[in-house]
Structure 1
Amino acid sequence: MMSIADPVAPAGDLAGRSVLVVEDDDTVAEVATTYLRAAGFLVDRAADGREALERVAELSPDLVVLDLMLPDVDGIETCRRIREQRDTPVLMLTARTSADDRISGLEAGADDYVTKPFSPRELVLRVQSVLRRTLAEPASEDPVSIGRFFVDPAARIARMDGRDLSLTVREFDLLAFLVRRPQQAFDRETLLQSVWGWTYGDLSTVTVHVRRLREKIEPDTANPRHLVTVWGVGYRFQPSGEAPHEQDRPAP
């Protein structure tokens, strides 16, 4: 067993939560597993996508750390299949040099990503951050009914025109944040900090989640009426789907 070179933040209230590490590189898997166990998590491993899907069905882990490049079934497809079956949060491991890989992982339903080569301590902190947000008790937030939307943060229920919306953890958090602040424009930095809790990070994370949320609430994603782009600023939520204001339209 390898020794821990860097201090690891203890899981604290997350001690005993289960994490499935899906990685075909034995060295990377061993490092991730060792650090996560040292932080207090219960960790299982899988070496490929097919085994990962079997282990998720069998173990129902609280979070999956998923490598992008896997034999048999790759990480993107594995993430999609997990999302079709359950709301288990997924933290994707991606190549540092490929922005497309990161975006593809987010579009497939990943809640966060860590780039390779990665700091094991950062991996632990990201796992803790995703789990705390996923398991947070938002009971103090009352349900909101506005326009075509109903969102109950405590029950994690979101509806549009009375129809349940199937949202990932981050998609739900983004929608819940916006419905409580209709007609307000937010830049991506503010959304990254308010919804993800990050003071820094890749702003494409916000862009991808906005795109995914639009696919679920907009009849025409090319001409959004609810989650509109405020050019030069960011995004604004319009609960009734009124036509965008003139300043929201791109310059001719």
Structure 2
Amino acid sequence: MLPSTLALVDDDTEYCEFLAQHLRSQGVDVTAYSDSSDLLADEAPYRFDFYVLDLMLPGVGGTELLRIIRRRTQAGVLIVSGRLGSEVFAEVINAGADMYLTKPVTFEQVELAVRAVHRRIMTTAKTATAWKLDSRRSILTAPDGQTVELSATDLMLMECFLQANGDTVSRDHIRSLLGLSHAADSDNSLHATIYRLRRRIERVTPLAVPLQSQQKVGYQFRAPLIAA
């Protein structure tokens, strides 16, 4: 997994140009800067999904640039530099870098490092915003940490949404799980069951309940939902 946008800051213009070309060939929208001041003077310097920085830069030094970026964004930051020494590694990690590579390094190694850091960041972000279903305890935990005690019917529905992995669950499938007939009056029972689940969640957390109706099709849980 690669980020959509990336800022590359390195005063080695030839290296910067060819690394940018390599990353662009992988589908990344790369903006290259040969001076840290050029990045900071950009109209939106903190818009990028990822940053690859050298340490020995004209303008603001690489470590200080890293600190500035970290005050504004939690985007991935990879340091690629010729500076050596354990104290350099500790300095940049303490300043907020996610990974440090020492030059000389191949473009493929830089790409792999960017992939690894971005994948970890995206996985962490998904987990932090996910709803968690504990089937054994019949508990749904919202992203804000609030817990919802589920009835047997609620749990059946939530397990259905968990298995759907974000896809829409048809009304017929839910009716079958609930033991409802296909008669018109079963729609009222179906709506009432969904409504009770929604209200149970709303009473516990101020977060918007991501349970949405797809007209004439079924229902969808439109948020990351994982098993606890």
Q: TM-score band (shorter)?
A: 0.5 to 0.7
Segments of 5+ residues of structure 2 without an aligned counterpart are 134-140, 146-228
Q: 1:64 is matched by which residue type in structure 2?
A: Y
In the TM superposition, what are the counterparts of 1:53-64 in structure 2 within 5 Å? 53-55=40-42, 57-58=44-45, 60-64=47-51
Q: How many residues are paired up? A: 135
Structure 1 residues 52 and 58: alpha-carbon distance in aligned structure 2, compared to 1, 3 A threshold: closer
Segments of 5+ residues of structure 1 without an aligned counterpart are 1-12, 144-151, 158-252
* Maintained 8 Å contact 1:33/1:43: yes
In the TM superposition, what are the counterparts of 1:1-252 in structure 2 within 5 Å? 14=2, 17-55=4-42, 57-58=44-45, 60-95=47-82, 97-136=84-123, 137-138=126-127, 142=132
Q: 2:37 is paired with a residue of what secondary structure?
A: helix
* Maintained 8 Å contact 2:46/2:73: no
| Deviation for aligned residue 1:94 | 2.2
User: What is the RMSD computed on CA atoms of the aligned residues?
Assistant: 2.7
Q: 2:35 is matched by which residue type in structure 1?
A: D
| Deviation for aligned residue 1:141 | 7.2
Higher relative contact order (CA 8 A, sep 6+): 2
| Deviation for aligned residue 1:44 | 0.4
Work out the percentage of aligned pairs sharing the same amino acid: 31
* Maintained 8 Å contact 2:36/2:58: yes
* Maintained 8 Å contact 2:50/2:76: yes
Q: 1:74 is matched by which residue type in structure 2?
A: G
| Deviation for aligned residue 1:123 | 0.2
| Deviation for aligned residue 1:120 | 0.8
Structure 1 residues 153 and 79: alpha-carbon distance in aligned structure 2, compared to 1, 3 A threshold: farther
- TM-score, normalization by structure 1: 0.48
| Deviation for aligned residue 1:98 | 2.4
**How far apart are the structure 2 equivalents of 1:153 and 1:38?**
39
Q: 1:28 is matched by which residue type in structure 2?
A: Y
**How far apart are the structure 2 equivalents of 1:107 and 1:43?**
26
Cα-to-partner distance string for 1:172-198 (whole Å, 9 max, x where unaligned) = xxxxxxxxxxxxxxxxxxxxxxxxxxx
Cα-to-partner distance string for 1:94-119 (whole Å, 9 max, x where unaligned) = 22632222221111111111110111
Cα-to-partner distance string for 1:143-189 (whole Å, 9 max, x where unaligned) = 9xxxxxxxx9957x9xxxxxxxxxxxxxxxxxxxxxxxxxxxxxxxx
Q: 2:18 is matched by which residue type in structure 1?
A: V
Q: 1:42 is matched by which residue type in structure 2?
A: D
**How far apart are the structure 2 equivalents of 1:130 and 1:62?**
11
* Maintained 8 Å contact 1:94/1:101: no
| Deviation for aligned residue 1:55 | 3.5
| Deviation for aligned residue 1:41 | 0.7
Higher Rg: 2
Structure 1 residues 82 and 121: alpha-carbon distance in aligned structure 2, compared to 1, 3 A threshold: same
Structure 1 residues 141 and 29: alpha-carbon distance in aligned structure 2, compared to 1, 3 A threshold: same
* Maintained 8 Å contact 2:39/2:45: no
